[in-house]
Amino acid sequence: MLPLNLSHRIGLRHMSRIGKVKICRPLTNEGFEMADFTGWTVENIGGEPVVDNTNPHSGTYSAHFEGYPTCGAISQTISPAIPKSDIASFICWSYSEYSFPFSSGFIGTLTYDDDTTTEFNIPEFYDQWCQFDFLSVMEDKSIKRIRFYFGSGTMLNGWVDDVNLRCE
């Protein structure tokens, strides 16, 4: 049994850690492990993405964009909108079978609570999972929607997985 003063100190330290960590996961089904697009809105633009197990970054499933020349889009609303200053990390993982950075592959769009947007190419490398940091392109505003569009330009497959938004 621990001396009373020691266990008291451990207890205080534990409590202060709990007090600082605010668990905030505003996105639903961020790793597509519900085996479908629950939480996401799917747009058929020259094709429609699917959730399947052909190439997960983690777990069993990922969002699979397949077709030519475009392969659709997925988006998710974040409600209530979250200020950039409250976001601790905001990343996704994407994979293209073949991609020329900045000319094909995934295009991301962040929509803010004033209805302005930031649109950006998600740089990728040939046949490997790449992490993208949304905070590097996000304006100092509150985000209310994220969207991925896959405009391949060539016959290829693309995958998105682990779209993770964490608050401070």
Binding site for Ca ion (CB under 5 A): 31-32, 56, 59, 61-62, 161
112 vs 122 by CB, closer to Ca ion:
122
| Pick 32 or 40: Cβ nearer Ca ion | 32
57 in Cβ contact with 129 (< 8 Å)? yes
Q: CB-wise, 29 or 111, nearer to Ca ion?
A: 29
Phi, psi of 135 (to 5 degrees): -65, -25
Closest CA to 142 of 108, 116, 162: 116
Q: What's the min distance (Å) between Cβ of 96 and Ca ion?
A: 17
Kindly state the smallest distance separating residue 50's Cβ from Ca ion, in Å: 13
CA-wise closest residue to 159 among 151, 146, 150, 167:
150
CB of 42 to Ca ion, least distance (A): 17
**Shortest Å, Cβ 9 to Ca ion:** 40
Closest CB to Ca ion among residues 74, 111? 74
Two tokens, residue 82: 């979250």
Hey, is 4 helix, strand or coil? helix
